Amino acid sequence: MQNQTEKIVERTKLFAWQVEQLRFSYDCYIYNPLDYAWPMHEAYLRRYLGNPVKTLLLGMNPGPFGMAQTGVPFGEINAVKTFLELEQPVGKPVLEHPKRPVLGLAVERSEVSGRRLWGLLKDHYEHADNLIGEIGVSNYCPLVFMERTPTAKNITPDKLPKVERMALEAICDCYLQDIIELLEPTYLIGVGKYALKKFQNVVKEPEKFVLGSIIHPSPGNPQANQNWNEKTTDTLRDLGVWL
């Protein structure tokens, strides 16, 4: 019988394959880091998300300088290398936006959202091994969508045409349900209101969980640019995640 880690890895492999089968009419570049960065994502799963956790933090979808580069949710480069201590090889998507090449661990640009989130977790847990069994970070959708423009504007999944969005969400909802079942968390915390809504959509017995959200750490969110650490710490304490 498969142990918990193997079940999670195999379920995520299926998830990666399922989203890869989808076709989108939106004129954009689409990256699937669960494909080209699978060795890194698998290493992350096995070390940090391969067994039950008390708290599951859920993001929306990868950022172009975070998970798109490293295969790790909110995977800001320095956090991945120095805090999480992951160093698996990262490949490339078949088609790359010329302004957003995937450089893997050679990327120099720091993603602010990931720097803030993993920085807060480092401040609280001090060593990454202390995350194990306590808190895990995942994303609702694994795909990156970028416009075919010089700015390579990030397209969030909610902006996709309705039929295509619904097909994607059906796959993402199933994966999220299965991961919740496998990880057995008590606290389901959305990184932003979008992710909280996704938890609320898939949880059939909400009384079994504590559901809540924290302010999304993106610099594009005005609420995140003043005292984000303090606000988020207070929220996690109010929810009971941290004492």
Under DSSP, is residue 214 helix (H, G, I), strand (E, B) or coil? Answer: strand
Whether 155 contacts 147, CB under 8 Å? yes
pLDDT at residue 221, as a whole number: 94
pLDDT at residue 150, as a whole number: 93
The answer to whether residue 213 is domain-embedded is yes
CATH number of the domain where residue 47 is located: 3.40.470.10
DSSP 144-202: EEEESSTT--EE-GGGS-HHHHHHHHHHHHHHHHHHHHHH--SEEEEESHHHHHHHHHH
Classify strands 135-139 and 55-59 as parallel, antiparallel or unpaired.
Answer: parallel
Domains identified in the chain, total number: 1
pLDDT at residue 99, as a whole number: 94
The answer to whether residue 173 is domain-embedded is yes
Beta strands in the chain (DSSP E): 28-31, 55-59, 135-139, 144-147, 154-155, 187-191, 210-214
The answer to whether residue 205 is domain-embedded is yes
The answer to whether residue 243 is domain-embedded is no
214 Cβ partners below 8 Å, 6+ apart?
Answer: 57, 189, 190, 191, 192, 231, 232, 235, 236
Whether 134 contacts 55, CB under 8 Å? yes
179-197 tens-digit pLDDT: 999 999 999 999 999 999 9
pLDDT at residue 2, as a whole number: 60
The answer to whether residue 242 is domain-embedded is no
> 28 lies in which domain range?
4-237
Pull the structure tokens for residue 36: 């080209």
Distance, CA of 14 to CA of 107 (rounded, Å): 28
Q: Which residue, among 126, 82, 122, 128, has the nearest Cα to 105 in the 3D structure?
A: 82
44-82 tens-digit pLDDT: 999 999 999 999 999 999 999 999 999 999 999 999 999
Backbone angles phi, psi at 57, to 5 degrees: -95, 130
Distance, CA of 59 to CA of 143 (rounded, Å): 12
- Within the chain, which residues score under 50 in pLDDT? 1
pLDDT at residue 1, as a whole number: 42
Residue type (1 letter), 185:
P
Under DSSP, is residue 233 helix (H, G, I), strand (E, B) or coil? Answer: helix
